[in-house]
Every structure is written in C-alpha cells, then in structure tokens.
C-alpha cells in the first residue's frame, strides 16, 4: 500500500482464502462468530450470506451477513390491515457487521452498510423484501439511526429501513 493512496477495497463473498483468524473488531462475541465456526456454518447451511471488504483478497477490513427474515404483524387495527398483510412479509436481516479495529473511524461502516443495502436492493428486484432490519447491539444503534433507520416502538434496538427508501438510493 502506497502512503497517501486509499487502498483499493472490494467486496467479496466470504471464502476460504479470507484470513478470518487475523480479524478482530474488538467486540468479543462478533470476533468469536467471525473467526470461528459459526459464520462458516451459517454460510454452508445457507442460513446467511457473508461478505467481506478486502484490498488483497486475504485480509479482512470488515464483514457483514444478510439473511432472509419474516415480519409478522399481530393485532392490526382495521385501518392498517389493508396496508399490511396478515401473513408474514419478507424482509432482510443485516445480522452482523464488524470492522477491523485498526481501521475503525474511516467510514468503513458506512461503506459496509451501503454495500449491504445495494445487494439487498438488487435481490429485492427478484424476491420481495419490504425492509432491511437490524438488531443493534449496544453502541451500534446510533450508527443506524444516523443512517436513517427507524427504531421500533417497543424494541428500540431493533430498527428498520424500508425498501422503498433504499430504492431511492440506487434506482
């Protein structure tokens, strides 16, 4: 890497070449998830897709996971029942996100989030997704609020961003 030149980052689906063991975002639970078996199991069982940000195809600057999720509304008043179906609707869960701790504070979080939104938006043109949702761990909630996510009323750590809004970013 030449000083003064931003590294040429790219996004790749998590693969065997990525050095997961060397990655640390400073949050123990996230590191355990990414360095160890859980993420591999999620990917191999197809319960989540994982993407990494890398500048050399090996070292990991950041990662995130996406998985399908259903949102079920119970006890809707008649006035809203027309807008929101009684059956579960499809959404996309931004399950985990982490940035290498030596690279934090450079806006990589926004880059990861935007890539996640872009991929979700692309996918939503094939399979319906009404929103991207996230279950923010402590400290991460502000990040999502800043990026125009709306917290739910009874569970303020769970936030959503409507697909029709994401559509405005990329359409």
Partner 1 sequence: MATATAPMPKAARKARERIDVRLRPEQKTEIERAAHIKGLTMTDFIIQNAVTSARQAIREYETWTLERPDAELFAAALMEPVVLGPRLTQAAKHYKKRFLPR
- The residues binding partner 1 (CB under 8 A) are 10-11, 68-77, 80, 83-84, 88, 91, 110-111, 113-115, 118, 130-131, 133, 146-148, 150, 152-155, 158, 160, 162, 164-165, 168-170
Task: Supply the minimum distance, in Å, between the C-beta of residue 129 and partner 1.
Answer: 13
Nearest CA among 128, 136, 135, 141 for reference residue 167: 128
Nearer of residues 21 and 170 to partner 1, judged by Cβ: 170
Task: Supply the minimum distance, in Å, between the C-beta of residue 11 and partner 1.
Answer: 7
Gap between the Cα atoms of 147 and 144, Å rounded: 5
SS3 124: helix
Nearest CA among 41, 47, 54 for reference residue 13: 54
CA 138 to chain centre: 16
Nearer of residues 37 and 110 to partner 1, judged by Cβ: 110
């Amino acid at each position: 890497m030449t000083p003064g030149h931003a590294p040429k980052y790219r996004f790749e689906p998590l693969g065997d070449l990525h050095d997961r063991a060397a990655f640390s975002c400073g949050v123990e639970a996230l590191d355990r998830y990414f360095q160890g078996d859980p993420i591999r199991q999620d990917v191999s069982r197809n319960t989540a897709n994982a993407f990494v940000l890398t500048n050399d195809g090996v070292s990991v600057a950041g990662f995130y996971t996406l998985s399908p999720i259903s949102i079920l509304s119970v006890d809707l008043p008649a006035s809203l029942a027309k807008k929101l179906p009684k059956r579960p609707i499809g959404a996309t869960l931004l399950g985990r996100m982490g940035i290498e701790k030596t690279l934090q504070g450079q806006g990589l979080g926004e880059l990861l989030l935007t890539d996640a939104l872009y991929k979700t938006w692309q996918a939503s043109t094939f399979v319906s997704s009404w929103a991207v949702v996230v279950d923010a761990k402590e400290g991460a909630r502000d990040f999502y609020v800043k990026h125009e996510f709306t917290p739910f009323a009874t569970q303020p750590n769970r936030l959503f961003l409507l697909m029709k809004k994401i559509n405005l970013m990329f359409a």
